[in-house]
Structure 1
């Protein structure tokens, strides 16, 4: 696994040397998965993400100029920008970088000229947050090379604002948080309201996280996402009349919902029921990890999927099929759809010894059902954004 990452670092450094004739600092920034706690983030609830070894690498060095030069290793394109007039660009990939530079400038930091080559192996469009990895990686790198001494949590918020202002995506804070604060061998429970967080040992040494990408994106995703936010707000409004302390679904208990069920439209009730139940599941899942009860943890993943499928209704036939394929498989602890829904990935926890069999079986079944192959990615949990320990190839 790790050798391919090292090879990629070496290639990116070589490209940097070729383009800019100097030695760079190298930073790595990971993508993320979310083990449980889906669609809870914008309801001020709990999530349980982890950083994974699908990463973006940054070879970077300061220059004594007013210019920021960047080369995208994945797109094989370069671009150059005047640091005195940073604004959104026509070049889509550059906006994730420009947004971060703009945040440092807004915070009163003097960003001087620098050269950058970046690229990675996070699959795009699979819901592993490649954009957050790019934002966090550059924020970490600039903070390092210029010695701004910005706290890591502030870097996370800057990366999130970069996404809002330059990519136009009103994301929650989970993706950037997980990319920056990931910890090898641990998942991290984040309270999306207080931003308190706690690490839990994930003791998955004999397992791997396997992502099965449906390779579909149903067009419903963005419109339905906004609809779900409104449906959740509608539920909060009903309960707020009875319980003034209820400001978001985070403050709601199953008892409150039950007691006022007849005031809800059935659909709004189901949406709220899912979110409140899912928050409870994240809490329980963390207890399962503390007790080393991985079976119970896996069960929570299946329950999460059932809620997303039937109550929150953001799944799709492809996702449901992939999850159903694992239900009677003793080598799979748990599986569920991950992310916004209507396509993207399922996340599965699979015995290391059975990875090949699992992948083969899932591929064959999916192809027979839908006439296309799913993409399968195997991942391990790693540290968040950091300086890369380069294994420079010695010839």
Structure 2
């Protein structure tokens, strides 16, 4: 169990000084709206009760000294010499620092400690949580006067420039901006957002982690993004006003994309339909219609698996298996794809029974452990 006291004690052991601030920034789930964020579409995420914790204090010099509990490793560099590193994990912190330096904000040397209980590699955005925790902590430490949207944008740019992933804004936005008991209906074009109550009654959200990450993930992500951009370029030859798939219709795709690029057509159609599903789930939540919400989750998975082609046998098996149970209203793969978790809308009384039923079946079929992650929609980044 991670606590403020435990972090403070560990910080003192490592840095021989007291932490000035401790920040908690949560991981996230996304109810629906997958791969729409980098297409200027809509998403429906919320933060969860699993988080990355960052403790910081100023130094008297210009050194940056980092420690990651998960890796039991220090990393240090002068502020003047920060650059992307092959070690991986420091990049999420250094990328944020680089963005602050680019903005000519008054940053100097600091010590920073990282711990957390967001399962790594499960698609719960531990990287975005770390970026937002870092941004929030440095904002307070150096009195930078950034708001939460600034911190989310800085986290996204850190991921682009230092981690090398051209991610959308959803993960950082959900980590920084979420409100307990609500989902965020986020417009990824202009970052306007609405809080929608997430009232699940007798149901709860259960994540089932495949514990697999296929190596296709990063290349495939960039390939999907390219296919969507190719479709937009084809449409723009006739409709100059179309800036992204957000502005496109299926009719435009059928006329201008299908004859030239069948693959781009199928993937782009999925994005347009996924945007519509976000709107439909919002209406279902407002009406307390969890059955419709669940059906839309199942349909989204079919599209992600068969059309956008970002699923894998383990994810498909988990979704197909739960369809037999009336106590489960909906399920789909969540995140970039090729591994990670399924998100399941499960009756509370059936949650533990489901875990007991599925674990041995999955483990026998794939020779992998199935990890169940119970989550509670929670508030965004905060100072402890």
TM-score of the two chains, using structure 2 as the length reference: 0.94
Q: Is the 2:206–2:344 contact (alpha carbons within 8 Å) kept by the matching residues of 1?
A: yes
Q: Is the 2:24–2:54 contact (alpha carbons within 8 Å) kept by the matching residues of 1?
A: yes
1:203 matched residue in structure 2: 199
Between the aligned partners of 1:260 and 1:27, the Cα distance in structure 2 is 49
Q: Is the 2:257–2:264 contact (alpha carbons within 8 Å) kept by the matching residues of 1?
A: no
Moved more, 272-281 or 223-232: 223-232
Match status 1:108 vs 2:104: yes
TM-superposition CA deviations, 1:174-227 (whole Å, max 9, x none): 111111111111110111111111111111354332211112222322332232
Shift, 1:126, TM fit = 1.1
1:89 matched residue in structure 2: 85
The match for 1:11 among 1, 6, 13 is 6
Q: Is the 2:93–2:130 contact (alpha carbons within 8 Å) kept by the matching residues of 1?
A: yes
Shift, 1:274, TM fit = 1.0
1:175 matched residue in structure 2: 171
Between the aligned partners of 2:229 and 2:59, the Cα distance in structure 1 is 49
**Secondary structure, aligned partner of 2:377:** coil
2:136 matched residue in structure 1: 140
**Secondary structure, aligned partner of 1:170:** coil
TM-superposition CA deviations, 1:281-334 (whole Å, max 9, x none): 011111111112111111110110011122212212211110011113222221
Between the aligned partners of 2:35 and 2:190, the Cα distance in structure 1 is 17
Moved more, 20-29 or 303-312: 20-29
Shift, 1:113, TM fit = 2.7
1:220 matched residue in structure 2: 216
1:362 matched residue in structure 2: 358
Between the aligned partners of 1:89 and 1:253, the Cα distance in structure 2 is 42
Between the aligned partners of 2:308 and 2:125, the Cα distance in structure 1 is 22
Between the aligned partners of 1:18 and 1:218, the Cα distance in structure 2 is 38
Structure 1 residues 1-395: aligned runs within 5 Å: 4-6=1-3, 9-19=4-14, 20-204=16-200, 206-258=202-254, 263-388=259-384
Q: Is the 1:185–1:204 contact (alpha carbons within 8 Å) kept by the matching residues of 2?
A: no
Q: How many residues are treated as equivalent by the alignment? A: 383
Moved more, 129-138 or 22-31: 22-31
**Secondary structure, aligned partner of 1:263:** coil
TM-score of the two chains, using structure 1 as the length reference: 0.91
Between the aligned partners of 2:177 and 2:334, the Cα distance in structure 1 is 20
Between the aligned partners of 2:233 and 2:27, the Cα distance in structure 1 is 35
Shift, 1:112, TM fit = 2.5
Q: Is the 2:156–2:172 contact (alpha carbons within 8 Å) kept by the matching residues of 1?
A: yes
**Secondary structure, aligned partner of 2:233:** helix
Shift, 1:258, TM fit = 4.8
Between the aligned partners of 1:349 and 1:240, the Cα distance in structure 2 is 39
Shift, 1:69, TM fit = 2.2
Q: Is the 1:315–1:343 contact (alpha carbons within 8 Å) kept by the matching residues of 2?
A: yes
TM-superposition CA deviations, 1:111-149 (whole Å, max 9, x none): 133222211011111111111111100100111122111
Between the aligned partners of 2:308 and 2:242, the Cα distance in structure 1 is 21
Shift, 1:260, TM fit = 5.7
Between the aligned partners of 1:259 and 1:103, the Cα distance in structure 2 is 42
Residues 1:21 and 1:232: Cα distance change in structure 2 (over 3 Å): closer
Q: Is the 1:235–1:264 contact (alpha carbons within 8 Å) kept by the matching residues of 2?
A: no
Residues 1:332 and 1:88: Cα distance change in structure 2 (over 3 Å): same
Moved more, 356-365 or 247-256: 247-256
TM-superposition CA deviations, 1:247-300 (whole Å, max 9, x none): 221112234345567635443332122111111001111111111211111111
Q: Is the 1:72–1:118 contact (alpha carbons within 8 Å) kept by the matching residues of 2?
A: yes
**Secondary structure, aligned partner of 2:27:** strand
Residues 1:358 and 1:64: Cα distance change in structure 2 (over 3 Å): same
Superposition RMSD in Å: 1.9
Between the aligned partners of 1:63 and 1:300, the Cα distance in structure 2 is 51
